[in-house]
């Protein structure tokens, strides 16, 4: 009977080489920038107590509809959830460990949301991000946002725009929320059914709707900018001035609100023009001032962002940026004398720090040379019965017109190094 063919679950993907290596390289670029900006890595669990994520807000889909939740085998069982994002975990860790502020943390890893899978929208996707906890200095906002911009630049992306807004503080928000709710109620009938439901739960989130039908209503909604307290307005002006001083381009986008409820003051999104508008958000973040407290910690302001690795790579593809790198194989060992010598030589060359591959199954010289060619290696080390009888190997320069020479087996590392040095010139 035929066995069932399993596939990766809906909304998830296997990342095969070389794409998987390209991702790891992208994360390494981010890690390097973040570390040089004074951020340290936080590795937190992939699942947390459900309550950690419930603090993100009761009106957002990520928490109400998209969590992967489960009970463990404890007695009584614990109600847990796979993380849908990392800011809540960072705040939970801050509340738990109470590090000295400001606490500057970067992270990377998979997130899980039960969304409708489509291009650029997955149920398991990867983010990189930073959070600065314990300061509300606008320069911290500028540092975080600037880091995001420099990261896209470092990848060679040219079509990323920064959209910015201020969502005000606990002083300005209630009067804005009331004005917005009154306005949206007055035009309720023109909104999509979905937005009418959102309106009941959280009027602000209606502004986040991408549905065509809602756009005329959204376009005429009251603006947060007209309701900002003096303090919030000054904070926002300082953030913009800081970005100006870095020569950073941005667009103030007065109707920008973001998915999660906890944002206050600075809010921003990075948009890739190379992608379709439905999935063109390649990152976003903002300031949140109540989340650590909600998780049992002291009142602690915070600012951070999360960038979507999957979408960034799609945008890179569309822009022709950050290409997949050549395989790291520098030397290919071809052994037609039984394979034992290949094992020893591969080991020796790898210990010398080189990228080395070989063939298996006692294939013919021709088949092995074909593989050597395809590996992209600049040098081949060949051991046939003649070489073996002499305790020698043939080292071949694989570039067009490259020569070859026979050397004692003990000289193999030096001879290969010579070929590779020739290639570097």
> Could you tell me which of 146, 134, 113, 139 has the C-alpha nearest to residue 308?
113
User: How would you label 202-215 residue by residue, b for 16+ Cβ within 10 Å and e otherwise?
Assistant: bbbbbbbbeeeebe
* Nearest CB to ligand AMP, comparing residues 107 and 332: 107
Q: How far is the CB of 157 from ligand AMP (least distance, A)?
A: 13
Considering the complex, state which of residue 12 and residue 135 has its C-beta at the smaller distance from ligand AMP: 12
Cβ neighbourhood burial of 3 (10 Å; 0-12, 13-18, 19+) = exposed
CB-wise, 12 or 229, nearer to ligand AMP? 12
Q: Describe the strand order of the beta sheet including 69-71 as a list of residue ranges.
A: 47-49, 79-82, 69-71
Least Cβ distance, residue 88 to ligand AMP (angstroms): 10
CB of 82 to ligand AMP, least distance (A): 13
Closest-by-Cβ residue to ligand AMP is: 308
- Smaller CB separation from ligand AMP, 118 or 186: 118
Among 59, 63, 103, which Cα is nearest to 83's? 63
Q: Where are the alpha helices (DSSP H) in 266-403?
A: 291-294, 309-319, 340-351, 365-375, 385-390
Q: How far is CA 84 from CA 211, 236, 295, in A?
A: 23, 29, 17
3-state class (DSSP) for residue 183: helix
Instruction: Please tell me whether residue 193 adopts helix, strand or coil conformation.
Output: helix
Measured from the CB of residue 90, what is the shortest distance to ligand AMP in angstroms?
Answer: 12
CB of 265 to ligand AMP, least distance (A): 16
Compare residues 107 and 125 and give the one whose CB is closer to ligand AMP: 125
For 186, counting Cβ atoms within 10 Å of its Cβ (0-12 exposed, 13-18 middle, 19+ buried), the class is exposed
Give min distance, CB of 195 to ligand AMP, in A: 18
Nearer to ligand AMP, 227 or 283 (CB): 283
Nearer to ligand AMP, 146 or 283 (CB): 283
d(CA 326, CA 150): 24
Rounded to the nearest whole angstrom, what is the least distance from the CB of residue 260 to ligand AMP in the complex?
7
Sheet strand arrangement including 331-335: 356-358, 331-335, 379-383, 392-397, 404-408
Contacts of 180 (CB under 8 A, 6+ apart): 203, 204, 207, 221, 222
Kindly report the backbone phi and psi dihedral angles of residue 155, in degrees, each rounded to the nearest multiple of 5, phi listed first. -80, -10
Residue with Cβ nearer ligand AMP (54 or 394): 54
CB of 112 vs ligand AMP, minimal distance in Å: 9
Shorter beta-carbon distance to ligand AMP: residue 316 or 346? 316
> At its nearest, how many Å lie between ligand AMP and the CB of residue 348?
44
Q: Binding residues for ligand AMP, per CB under 6 A?
A: 85, 113, 115, 120-122, 125, 127, 258-259, 281-284, 306, 308, 310-311
DSSP letter at 324?
P
CB atoms within 10 A of CB 99: 15
């Amino acid at each position: 009977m035929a066995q069932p063919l399993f596939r990766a679950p809906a909304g998830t993907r296997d990342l095969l080489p070389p794409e998987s290596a390209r991702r790891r390289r992208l994360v390494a670029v981010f890690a390097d920038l973040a570390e040089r900006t004074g951020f340290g890595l936080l590795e937190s669990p992939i699942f947390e107590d459900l309550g950690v994520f419930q603090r993100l807000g009761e009106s957002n889909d990520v928490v109400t509809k998209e969590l992967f939740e489960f009970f463990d085998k404890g007695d009584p069982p614990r109600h847990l959830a796979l993380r849908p994002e990392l800011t809540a975990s960072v705040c939970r860790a801050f509340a738990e460990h109470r590090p000295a502020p400001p606490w500057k943390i970067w992270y990377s890893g998979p997130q899980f949301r039960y969304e409708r899978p489509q291009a650029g929208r997955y149920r398991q996707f990867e983010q990189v991000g930073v959070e600065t906890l314990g300061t509300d200095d606008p320069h911290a906002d500028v540092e975080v946002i600037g880091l995001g911009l420099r990261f896209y630049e470092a990848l060679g992306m040219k079509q990323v725009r920064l959209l910015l807004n201020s969502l005000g503080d606990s002083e300005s928000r209630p009067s804005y929320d009331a004005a917005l709710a009154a306005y949206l109620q007055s035009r309720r009938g023109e909104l999509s059914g979905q937005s009418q439901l959102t309106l009941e739960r959280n009027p602000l989130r209606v502004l986040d709707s991408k549905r065509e039908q809602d756009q005329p209503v959204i376009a005429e909604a009251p603006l947060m900018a007209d309701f900002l307290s003096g303090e919030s307005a000054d904070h926002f002006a300082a953030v913009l001035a800081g970005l100006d001083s870095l020569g950073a381009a941005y667009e103030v986008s007065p109707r920008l609100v973001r998915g999660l409820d906890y944002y206050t003051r600075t809010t921003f999104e990075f948009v890739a023009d190379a992608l379709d508008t439905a999935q063109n958000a390649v990152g976003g973040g903002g300031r949140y001032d109540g989340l650590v407290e909600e998780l049992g910690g002291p009142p602690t302001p915070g600012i951070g962002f999360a960038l979507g690795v999957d979408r960034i790579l799609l945008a890179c593809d569309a822009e022709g940026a950050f290409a997949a790198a050549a395989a790291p194989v520098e030397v290919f060992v071809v052994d037609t004398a039984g394979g034992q010598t290949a094992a020893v030589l591969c080991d020796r060359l790898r210990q010398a720090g080189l990228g080395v591959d070989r063939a298996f199954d006692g294939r013919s010289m021709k088949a092995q040379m074909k593989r050597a060619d395809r590996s992209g290696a600049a040098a081949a080390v060949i051991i046939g019965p003649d070489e073996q009888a002499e305790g020698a190997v043939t080292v071949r320069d694989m570039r067009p017109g490259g020569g070859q020479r026979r050397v004692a087996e003990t000289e193999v590392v030096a001879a290969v190094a010579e070929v590779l040095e020739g290639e570097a010139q």
